[in-house]
Copies of this chain bind each other. A is one copy, B any other.
């Protein structure tokens, strides 16, 4: 059940209507690891600068992560800063400083190369491909991407898509990638380019899983207080991949449960700034939220149903 992630380990400065965090622990690999660690051990491939706070390393160690693939090099760590609109549905990136990520050439440690479950977090698709080439025979490779790569590295991204099993993107990315506004058609377009499975994330509106034979819809959790949406997507991915890695199945029923666990983990992420909500999150809290998802989605049909409505 070895689970590997490559992505950013970063420092985020975030402003929401509810407050402000400066140089808080962030990045796709960080949120993924914080979330997936509730299910299994995570192998991290990433890079930080020599300014990266010891507390951040201790947090990832505290998650039980294997940091053999986390390089520490001279220079500044990746930094992102952004501000959210009053309704939290839009965010503006104020600044992105690649720092040591600009020259990152991911090296997968030997002991990570037999990873069975692989998540290629949102970084340059050429780097995602480099990581993939170092893994021997994964059972499932999932990847994320963003508009920046869809526009700037389309060829590399299409090459990557032909070699992954699952693409996780948000709705605007699915539309931009496929050139089709309709999400059902956009998902089919993506599936025709490689990934058997496509998950389209719609923020507060939930997520849709497309498999070769079915569609599954998980709602967004109706939180009364959303504090900071940063990292929700990577926390979703962490819950999804952590659940799959732990339980091992890839049947439709396994994927559906994994999507719900992912949705639950994403809903926890937004309740606090940064990774704060994961610090003391218990298994019982996770199960309780998953049961609430089930309660939101259940309805019974009398069977057999007659043609008379």
Enumerate chain A interface residues (CB-CB to B < 8 A): 38-39, 86-88, 181-185, 188, 202, 204-206, 208, 214-217, 219, 222-226, 243, 246, 253, 256-257, 259-261, 282-284, 286-287, 290-291, 294-301, 305-309
| Distance in angstroms between the alpha carbons of A223 and B283 in the assembled complex | 37
Beta-carbon contact of B282 and A305 below 8 Å: no
When distances are taken between beta carbons in the complex, the residues of chain B under 8 Å from A225 are: 182
When distances are taken between beta carbons in the complex, the residues of chain B under 8 Å from A246 are: 309
A166 vs chain B, min Cβ distance (A): 17
When distances are taken between beta carbons in the complex, the residues of chain B under 8 Å from A309 are: 38-39, 243, 246, 261, 283, 286-287
Beta-carbon contact of A299 and B256 below 8 Å: yes
With known contacts A219-B219, A222-B215, A299-B297, A307–B282 Cβ distance under 8 A: yes
- Smallest Cβ-Cβ distance to A222: which chain B residue: B184
Beta-carbon contact of B253 and A296 below 8 Å: no
When distances are taken between beta carbons in the complex, the residues of chain B under 8 Å from A294 are: 299, 301
| Distance in angstroms between the alpha carbons of A208 and B221 in the assembled complex | 11
Other than A256-B300, A294-B301, give 20 A-B pairs with Cβ distance below 8 A: A38-B309, A39-B309, A86-B181, A182-B224, A184-B222, A188-B224, A215-B222, A215-B295, A216-B297, A216-B298, A219-B219, A246-B309, A256-B298, A257-B301, A283-B306, A283-B307, A284-B307, A287-B305, A287-B309, A290-B305
- Smallest Cβ-Cβ distance to A258: which chain B residue: B299
Beta-carbon contact of A295 and B214 below 8 Å: yes
